[in-house]
Structure 1
Amino acid sequence: MIVETPSKVILFGEHAVVYGYRAVSMAINLTSTIKINKINERKIILNLKDLNKSLSLNLNDTKDLNISNLDNNLSDFKYCLCAIKNTLNYLNIEPEFGFKMEISSKIPVSCGLGSSASITVGTIRAVSKFYNKPLKDDEVAKLGYLVEREVQGKASITDTFTITYRGILEIKNNKFKKIKGSFEEFLKSCKFLIVYVEKRKKKTAELVNKVAKIKDKDIIFKKIDEIVEEALKTKNKEDFGRLMTKNHELLKKLNVSTPKLDKIVNIGNIYGYGAKLTGAGGGGCIIILVNEEKENELIKELNKENVKIFKCEMMN
C-alpha cells in the first residue's frame, strides 16, 4: 500500500494566527510517501529512505512508547513512531502481524512547509488502512494534531489540518473552515514557486516568543488581518501578489525575516507578481506567485542565489 501526503504553505497570516487572528493555508503538491508492507512477525520495521536510517521494534513496545524518553539517535523516527502508537491505541488494535514502512519525502525539512505533519498524517492513514480500519478526515486531523503536540510540547492545528483536508483552509482561534468557490478556482489558476533560501536559525517556538515581546504587535496583526480580508476577495494575480508582499513587509516589522529572505522576496517582486516568507521565518522558505511571462527570468535570477526551487500548485 502507498499513501502520498501533501505539504502546506501559509499564504497569509503567520504569527497573527497565534493571537486569534486569521491565517490562510494551502496544501501543495510537494509530497511525502509512505509505503507499507505486511510482515509475518509481531514487529514493525521503519526505513527512512532519504536519511538511510532503519529501526526495528516489537509491536507491543510500540503501543506503550514514551516519545519524550526516546534516545537521541532515534529522534528522526519520533513523529512516525508517535503516529503509529496513537493510531494503534485509538483503533484499539491488537495486531496479529506487523509491517515494514518506508518513508520518503520531497519536502525540505524544518522550513515552514509542514514536513513533520505530512509524515504524521501519512503514517496515520497508512496504518489505519493497513489494518482495514480507515479513519475519517476529522479523526486523522485530530490524531495528527495530538501527535504534533505530544512530540513538540505544543502545536497549532494549521499544519495537520491543512495537510489532512487539503485545498485551502482559513484558520482562526485554532478552528478552521475549508474555503471553496471562486477563491479556490482562482488559486487553482495560480502557479507558485517555493524557494528554500536558508536553514532556519531558530525553532518556531523561539520565533513566536520573539514576536511576543514586540510592543505594537497587535497593530501589525490587525493590518495582517485586513490583508487576509482583502485577499479572500481577490481574483486578480497582480493584486494577490501585491498583498503577499504587503504581508511580508509586516512580517519584517515583527523581526522574523532575514536579509537573504528579503533579497529573494525582492527578486519575486521584480520577476513575479509578489512574494513573502511562509511559516515562522528566521530562514526557511519564500513563496512566489509566478508571472508566467517572466518565469524564465525569475528562475534565472533565483539560480544565482544558491537556493533550491520547487514548482508547486494547490493539492486537493
Structure 2
Amino acid sequence: MADQSFILSAPGKVILHGEHAVVYGKIAIAIGVNLRTFLRLQPCDNGKVTLSLPNTDTHVSWNLHELESLTSAYYQNDLVNPLPLLPEQIEKLRQFSGIPAGDADTRILAVLAFLYLYLSIFAKSRLPSLKIVVWSELPTGAGLGSSAAYSVCMAAALLNAGSVISHCPLDGVETARWNENELDIINKWAFQGEKIIHGNPSGVDNAVGTWGGALKYKAGEITPLKRVPVLRILLTNTKVPRSTKILVAGVRDRLKKFPGIINPVLDSIDAVSCKCEHVLEEIAEHPSLSHYCVLEELFDINQQHLNVLGVGHPSLDRLCQVTLSHGLHSKLTGAGGGGCGITLLRPDTDASVIVAVLQELRDCGYDCWETNIGAPGVSLHVPSALREEILHAVSGL
C-alpha cells in the first residue's frame, strides 16, 4: 500500500446540449466543469478509518476490527472488473451503520458508498488505517455531478492507496493523471459508488469526472470527444428546487399528447447536439470568433426548444434576459424547472461586462461562478500547486 499522503480532485459536469431528448435516444453532450471536488488521503497508525465531509458537516470514524467483520461479503470482488453490486451488501452496511432501510439522505448514501468501496478494494489485503477528507466547490443537488465527482475521487484515492493503480509521479509537475487502463478501472469503481447514491445512473457523470473533457452519450453508449476546447462560462444556480423525475414525466406526457409537434423538437435538439460537437472540434483546431457566434445561436435555439418541452422556468427566463441585455447567451443545463443555467463567454468578453452580469444575477438571489468547461478529469495534485483556501479545506481536518 502507498504510505504517502496525497490530494486529488475530479470535476463536476454540465449538459451542454441534449437534455431530455437523450431519454428518447438522441445525443447529449456532457462536459467537465472546473468546479471540483477535492480529496485528501492520509495513512495513519491509530487503528481507525476516519471520513470527514465538511461541506455537509459529516464526520464518522470506525475501528478497523469492527470493519474486518464485514470483509467476507466483499472478498470475491475483482479489483479490475468489479462484480455487480448486490443489495445484500448494501443492506449489511446499513445494518452495521444503524441506518434504516430506505433512508436516502445524501450524507448517509455518501458514507455507504465509501464503506462499500473501502471494503471491496481492501477485502483481500489488510485493512489500512486512513484519514480521508473530502471537500467540494460543487453545490449538491444542482445537477452538476457532485456525487459522481465524490465517487470518482473516492475510487481513485482508494485504488491508489491500495496500489491497484500506479501512484503517479509528480516530479517537476503540478498535477498528474493515470493511463487509460487505470482511468477505466477508476471509472468502473466510481460507477459502483454512483449506483449506491443514485440507484440506476447512466454512467455519464462518473465518466466525465474520470476523463474530463466532453462526452457524447446516446442510447447508453458513451463516446469521448476527441478534441475539446476549454471554454469560459458563467454557471448560475437559480436555487429553485425541482424534481427531475417530475420534469421527465412532464415531457413524456407532452410527447404523448402532441407527438407531431414534440418529435420534431426532439429531432432538432439532436441536430443541435451534432452541430455543437462539430463546432467544438473546429474550435479546438482553429479557433475563431465566428465559432463562438455559432455556439451562442445553438444556446438560444436549444433554450427555446426546452421551453417548448415544458422544462423552462421563470427563474431561467430571468437568467437569459439579464445576460442577453449584456450581449451574452444562456441556456438551462440539466433537468430544467429551475436548477442551473450556463452562459457562454466569448474570448473577447470584457471583464467589466462579467462583473456587471454577476452582480445582477446575484441581486436576483442566484449563486454564480465564472469558471471553465472542458476541464481535465480526475487528477493528482502537488499540494503547493493548490489554492490556499482549497488546501486548507481538504487538509485542515
> Is the structural similarity TM-score above 0.5?
yes
2:370 pairs, out of 300, 307, 311, with 311
Q: 1:139 to 1:208 in 2, by over 3 A?
A: farther
Cα displacement (A) at 1:99 = 1.2
Which residue among 264, 270, 274 is the counterpart of 1:219? 264
- 5 Å-filtered alignment, 1:238-257, equals 238-257=293-312
Match of 2:239 among 175, 198, 206: 198
1:102 aligns with 2:133: yes
Q: Distance in 1 between matches of 2:197 and 2:55?
A: 21
Cα distance change, pair 263–141 in 1 and its aligned pair in 2 (3 A): same
Q: 1:290 to 1:75 in 2, by over 3 A?
A: closer
The match for 1:138 is: 184
Q: Deviations over 1:214-262 (max 9, x none)?
A: 2234322111001112222334112201111211111112222211111
Unaligned runs of at least 5 residues, structure 1? none
How do residues 160-239 of structure 1 correspond to structure 2 at under 5 angstroms? 160-181=206-227, 184-185=228-229, 188=230, 190-202=231-243, 204-215=244-255, 216=259, 217-234=262-279, 235=283, 236-239=291-294
Return the structure number with greater strand share.
Answer: 1
SS in structure 2 at match of 1:4: strand
Question: Which residue is 2:177 aligned to?
Answer: none
Q: What CA deviation, in whole Å up to 9, does each residue of 1:125-161 have, x standing for no partner?
A: 1111112222711222222223323332211121111
- Return the TM-score normalized by structure 2: 0.72
Task: Point out which structure has higher relative CO (alpha carbons under 8 A, 6+ apart).
Answer: 2
5 Å-filtered alignment, 1:1-316, equals: 1-40=6-45, 43-57=48-62, 58-60=66-68, 61=70, 64-66=89-91, 70-71=99-100, 72=103, 75-86=106-117, 88-89=119-120, 92-134=123-165, 136-181=182-227, 184-185=228-229, 188=230, 190-202=231-243, 204-215=244-255, 216=259, 217-234=262-279, 235=283, 236-291=291-346, 292-293=349-350, 294-313=353-372, 314-316=374-376
Percent identity over the alignment? 25
How does the TM-score come out when normalised to structure 1?
Answer: 0.89
Task: Kindly provide the CA deviation profile for residues 103-146 of structure 1, in whole angstroms up to 9, marking residues without a partner as x.
Answer: 11110111110011110111111111112222711222222223
Q: CA deviation at 1:274?
A: 1.4
Question: Which ranges of structure 2 fall in alignment gaps of 5 or more residues?
Answer: 1-5, 75-88, 166-180, 284-290, 377-397
Give the match's secondary structure for 2:272. helix
